[in-house]
Amino acid sequence: MKAIIRDRYGPPGVLKLSEVDKPVVGDHEVLVRVHASSVNPVEWYQVTGLYFSRIGNGLRNPKQKTVGADLAGRVEAVGKDVKEFQPGDDVFGTSGAAWAEYACAREDRLVSKPANLSFEEAAAVPVAALTALQALCDKGRIQPGQKVLINGASGGVGTFAVQIAKSFGAEVTGVCSTRNVELVRSLGADRVVDYTQEDFTERGDRHDLMLDIAGSRSFFDFRRALTPKATVVLVGGRMTYRGLGPLPHVLGTLLTSRGRSQTVTFFVSKSTKEDLAVLRELLEAGKVRPVIDKNYQLSEAADALGYLGEGHARGKVVISV
């Protein structure tokens, strides 16, 4: 089968389309004929070899050659302990090697694909939407009527966060650049701040919950936009080709916010069947829709990753297989 692999860390050009063996399904796994995947910053970190992503995966060269977290496709075979799926089922979820014609995924990281979504739309969902859902619900404890600020509302995580926050009855302010103002408004944001024209920290509005996805401002700046008891969930920050990526922003914000009345927290999202099922319900009900910026073919995975790495994706970057 064809798969995208890499032998060393480096720029997106290290990714190559190669002929490899079809994976063998484990007892609790499902073998999926992948129809689509998508691109997330996690692949940027893994491929370029950001320092923290090398821990456990080879300090000099990557032990795991394959890449790709999100997948949507059709079940080809199931392991002997798999109960829920059978060949022919359409599914979406996460794997570790989804930029390929076939990938194995754990049964507990898949759910059935919503019938109203294409494979490309379903593949746009898992990592970005799970992150938005867990940031808002598990970490942010979002409540109806709360004022929620989403800094970085137009990218993969942000476009889902705006819609999920609205579905929970929050009053949402999204921060993005000029070309994305209409998009973020169309996703349901009550207010949109164009960061090229206006400083969201100087508007005088106070928010109960903030998702810091863009990592563009310090705690001392953005606390002006928070209520005294607000919760801030640090999701990410700027991606850099080498070095530490968003970590300096995350650690700096955690340190500078110590002893303040607001609660500031960081988390790493997890792929769970329960949360994928919540997302499926929101998608089936039409409360959330994936926004797809660009669609690449598997052979163009390096271009897809390079585009994401520029840091201005508008919704999700998808790969058709």
Ligand X SMILES: NC(=O)c1ccc[n+]([C@@H]2O[C@H](COP(=O)([O-])OP(=O)(O)OC[C@H]3O[C@@H](n4cnc5c(N)ncnc54)[C@H](OP(=O)(O)O)[C@@H]3O)[C@@H](O)[C@H]2O)c1
Binding site for ligand X (CB under 6 A): 40-41, 127-128, 131, 151-152, 154-158, 175-177, 180, 195, 213-214, 216, 235-237, 239, 246, 267-269, 308, 311-314
For ligand X, the closer CB: 76 or 159: 159
For ligand X, the closer CB: 84 or 138: 138
For ligand X, the closer CB: 118 or 216: 216
* Least distance between ligand X and beta carbon 87 (Å): 31
Q: Do residues 95 and 72 touch, judged by C-beta distance below 8 A?
A: no
* Least distance between ligand X and beta carbon 206 (Å): 19
Distance in angstroms (rounded) separating the CA atoms of residues 131 and 210 = 14
Distance in angstroms (rounded) separating the CA atoms of residues 158 and 142 = 15
* Least distance between ligand X and beta carbon 79 (Å): 28
Distance in angstroms (rounded) separating the CA atoms of residues 89 and 74 = 6
* Least distance between ligand X and beta carbon 51 (Å): 14
Q: How many other CB atoms are found less than 10 A from the CB of residue 231?
A: 21
For ligand X, the closer CB: 253 or 269: 269
* Least distance between ligand X and beta carbon 96 (Å): 15
Q: What angle do CA 194, 199, 201 make, to 5 degrees?
A: 125
For ligand X, the closer CB: 164 or 235: 235
Q: Name the one residue in this structure whose structure tokens are 């996460």.
A: 94
* Least distance between ligand X and beta carbon 107 (Å): 22
The residues that bridge with 17 in the sheet, in sequence order, are: 4
Q: Do residues 66 and 96 touch, judged by C-beta distance below 8 A?
A: yes
Chain position whose Cβ is nearest to ligand X: 155
For ligand X, the closer CB: 127 or 187: 127
